[in-house]
Amino acid sequence: MPNWELETELVAAGAQWILGLDEVGRGCLAGPVTLGAAAFRADDIGSDIPSDLKDSKQLSPKRREALMEPLRSFARALAVGECTNEEIDEWGISACLGIAALKAIHTVAEELAIEEATIILDGPHDYITPALSMLDAPELSFTPRVVTRIKADGSCASVAAASVYAKVTRDRQMDELAAAHPEWSAYGWAKNKGYGTAQHRAAIRENGVTPYHRLTWHLT
């Protein structure tokens, strides 16, 4: 279950704002990669955590959806940043993870007038700092401190909140895309959300690609 242990350590070290970040869609064959951000002020750390909050992968779609309203009360701000499949093809997934993360950070920083922040990033690698120097990255008024933590989406309350928010947001987007294009029903996006299931790969072999597929990826 997620807790405030790491966030508490960071606040004790002087952090005034904590932003939990997590991604969804990294391994998909179609659609964007999406980064969620959940922002908390230092005095929020230690507050009650929504009872059902977990790593989004451990929750059913219904339970993730049910958490959206509690998360809006839990965090000071929530946001997502995305890079499209075309941007992934052009820049590569690592660069796009960083740019999408900076988009999400920029959104919450503007909303809350944040002038410094410590980022807790799920996973072992800091892909945010390299993205700061990319021409297509949004500008921040501060240089964030990035702390990486493997499986932070399951252990850190701020990252778990970002994980669920990002997952629900992207899943809704893929559902809307599937509904808008019934001619693409063979790809099964309403069910697989763009991931490389056997059905999805078989449909690509039979029908070819759509404008939403990542053409530089091994699709079949």
Reported as type and span, the H/E element at residue 165 is: helix 157-180
Tell whether residue 48 is among the known ligand binding residues.
Answer: no
What does the alpha-carbon distance between residue 189 and residue 78 come to, in Å, rounded to a whole number?
A: 25
What does the alpha-carbon distance between residue 43 and residue 61 come to, in Å, rounded to a whole number?
A: 31
Quote the tokens at residue 162: 């970002």
Tell whether residue 22 is among the known ligand binding residues.
Answer: yes
Reported as type and span, the H/E element at residue 77 is: strand 77-83
Tell whether residue 110 is among the known ligand binding residues.
Answer: no
Give how far Cα 127 sits from Cα of 59, 97, 177, Å.
26, 7, 28
Strand order across the 118-122 sheet? 77-83, 33-41, 17-24, 118-122, 145-149
End-to-end CA distance of the chain: 37
Binding-site sequence positions: 22-23, 122
Binding-site sequence positions for a divalent metal cation: 22-23, 122
